[in-house]
Amino acid sequence: MAKTIIAGPCSVESREQLRDVTAVLSRMPQVTLIRAGVWKPRTRPGGFEGLGEPALQWMHELALEYGVRYCCEVARPEHVELCQRHGIDTVWLGARTTANPFMVEEICEALKGSGMSVLVKNPVCPDARLWLGAIERLRQAGVANITAVHRGFSMYNNQGYRNAPLWEIPMELRHEMPDVPMLCDPSHIGGSRELVEPIALAARLLDYDGLMVEVHPHPADAWTDGSQQLSPDEFNTLLDKYLNTPAPADDSLSQRLTPLRQQIDDIDHSLLTLLARRMALSRQIADIKRELHSPVYQSARWADVLADRLQLASDLGLDTDFTREMLEKIHGESVRVQLG
């Protein structure tokens, strides 16, 4: 399937800047849509908040002149009407909006009957249900063409990214809504130019349907998100690598995968059987603790268990953070079971 490629500046800064970037992108046939922010959600007040309607006017004129289509973020119902008035048929809900069902509802009301296509960025917080909910609300409002955009999640520990990718959350969305195309926004996940390519290529390996990438004619001078925007040349190089990654050769690959997948299936079954046995033991322990009037949670025992398992995991070459998280989950469930 052909990939959807959306590219363009974080924000419209002037007619010249928009024209420069449009001139280059219009010569790249792989680019499906040009993105350009007109209303910018700033985390703190005082920054550049977008040029608003005059920028839409330029987009209207340049769309006709260069034969391109633009999309931009809408954060209020009025934005939808202004976009429509200026010939923009595709808009996106930003991460802060997707996290706010009241605002999604108001925007859906404005979108009713508009025929517009809508891109839905993941919510800022790592909650797949808010993302699903925004898409469901759009569907209820009759929006037919909906695409999800994975732009990462705001976390206390962002693991070196601007927004932690948490790939399992978009995977959950794809599982729940397999018919909704999924794009990756490596610019807002990475937050820096160097990270854009590895993230985009990871999305390619995960079979995403395309990319939304920030491209600026002169990234060093950008008014917003300067450190993550690519120059047109850098974008060209990225696109080459992204689009020329060979598609998987289905037959031969699946033949080699089958025996390995069979082993994975067997191991998963064993893991679950062992977990069930572990929980059954927890229940027996709970009964004894009750008779002894002994507390369910015993911090010294838990510290010993954790230290022992982390040592074993390290000897086996397993990642420490992963092991700790998994053990905490199992222990949490064991405590829940013991509390009855």
Q: State the virtual CA torsion across 125, 214, 201, 160 in degrees, nearest 10.
A: -50
For ligand PEP, the closer of residues 163 and 282 by Cβ is: 163
Site string for ligand PEP, 205-234 (x = CB under 6 A): ------------------------------
Q: Which of 5, 7, 10, 130 binds ligand PEP (CB under 6 A)?
A: 10
Q: Which does 13 bind (CB under 5 to 8 A by kind): ligand PEP, Mn ion, none?
A: none
Q: How far is the CB of 303 from ligand PEP (least distance, A)?
A: 40
Q: Which range, of 9-17, 126-134, 176-184, 250-258, touches Mn ion by CB under 5 A?
A: 9-17
Q: Which helix (H) or strand (E) covers residue 66, if one does?
A: helix 53-66
Q: Which of 137, 151, 162, 174 binds ligand PEP (CB under 6 A)?
A: 151
Site string for ligand PEP, 79-98 (x = CB under 6 A): ---------------xx---
Q: Which does 55 bind (CB under 5 to 8 A by kind): ligand PEP, Mn ion, none?
A: none
Q: Which of 6, 7, 10, 120 binds Mn ion (CB under 5 A)?
A: 10
How far apart are the C-alpha atoms of 147 and 122, rounded to whole Å?
11
For Mn ion, the closer of residues 11 and 117 by Cβ is: 11
Do 224 and 9 meet the contact criterion of CB atoms below 8 Å apart?
no
Closest residue to ligand PEP using C-beta atoms = 94
Give the other-Cβ count within 10 Å of 165's Cβ. Answer: 22
Q: How far is the CB of 224 from Mn ion (least distance, A)?
A: 6
Do 204 and 242 meet the contact criterion of CB atoms below 8 Å apart?
yes
Site string for ligand PEP, 30-59 (x = CB under 6 A): -------x---x------------------
Count of chain residues binding ligand PEP (CB under 6 A): 8
CA atoms within 13 A on the CB side of 99: 11
Binding status of residue 121 toward ligand PEP by CB under 6 A: yes
How far apart are the C-alpha atoms of 36 and 9, rounded to whole Å?
5
Which residues in 180-199 contact ligand PEP (CB under 6 A)?
188
Q: Which range, of 10-18, 143-151, 238-246, 267-275, touches Mn ion by CB under 5 A?
A: 10-18
Name all contacts of 114-117 with Cβ < 8 Å and 24+ positions apart: 114/80, 114/84, 115/89, 115/144, 116/80, 116/83, 116/84, 116/89, 116/90, 116/91, 116/143, 117/89, 117/90, 117/91, 117/143, 117/144, 117/145, 117/146, 117/147
Tokens 């949670």 correspond to: 297
Binding status of residue 63 toward ligand PEP by CB under 6 A: no
Instruction: Give the distance, in angstroms, between the CA of residue 9 and the centroid of all CA atoms in the same chain.
Output: 19
In degrees rounded to 5, what are phi and psi of residue 210?
Answer: 160, -165
Do 3 and 33 meet the contact criterion of CB atoms below 8 Å apart?
no
Q: Which does 95 bind (CB under 5 to 8 A by kind): ligand PEP, Mn ion, none?
A: ligand PEP
CA-to-CA separations, 91 to 45, 73, 79, 158, 231, in angstroms, rounded? 24, 6, 9, 28, 23
Q: How far is the CB of 34 from ligand PEP (least distance, A)?
A: 13
Binding status of residue 225 toward Mn ion by CB under 5 A: yes
Q: Which range, of 5-13, 44-52, 114-122, 279-287, touches Mn ion by CB under 5 A?
A: 5-13
The 8-class DSSP code of residue 238 comes to H
Do 183 and 209 meet the contact criterion of CB atoms below 8 Å apart?
yes
Count of chain residues binding Mn ion (CB under 5 A): 2
Q: How far is the CB of 48 from Mn ion (least distance, A)?
A: 11
Which residues of this chain interact with ligand PEP, rule CB under 6 A? Answer: 10, 37, 41, 94-95, 121, 151, 188
Which residues of this chain interact with Mn ion, rule CB under 5 A? Answer: 10, 225
